[in-house]
Structures are given as C-alpha cells and as structure tokens.
Amino acid sequence: ATPHVAGLIAYLIGKNGNSSPAAITVLLKALSVKGVISGIRAYLFLRSAARRPLTA
C-alpha cells in the first residue's frame, strides 16, 4: 500500500500546492472511505505472498 499512498500524496501536493504534512494528512483522511475493506485477518499483509514458487 505504501507506493499507492505515496503516489496519492504526490498527486494531492500537485493539485493543492506544497502543504504541510499535517494538512496532507487531514486531506487524505477526508478523502478516505471507512468500512470498504472488511474481513481481513490481523497481520495479513506481513506474510509472504507464496511459500513455494509457482510453476507452469
């Protein structure tokens, strides 16, 4: 998610000028939508994607 968030922040800075980190945080939270992603187990994103290589 980090590259996506960094890209969105770069976009917001481009649209709104060079704002403070606090102002960008407020704007980012105002644009977010809560409750869209649900049912995800804790620490899901900290695991490896695959345990063995994929084969054709």
Query: pLDDT tens digits, residue range 9-42?
Result: 999 999 988 889 999 999 999 998 888 877 777 7
pTM of the model: 0.57
Q: Which residue has the higher pLDDT, 42 or 6?
A: 6
* Residues in CB range of 1: below 8 A, 6 or more apart: 45
DSSP symbols for 1-34: -HHHHHHHHHHHHHHH-S--HHHHHHHHHHH--T
* Domain segments of the chain as ranges: 2-34
pLDDT at 21: 92
The confidence score (pLDDT) of residue 15 equals 92
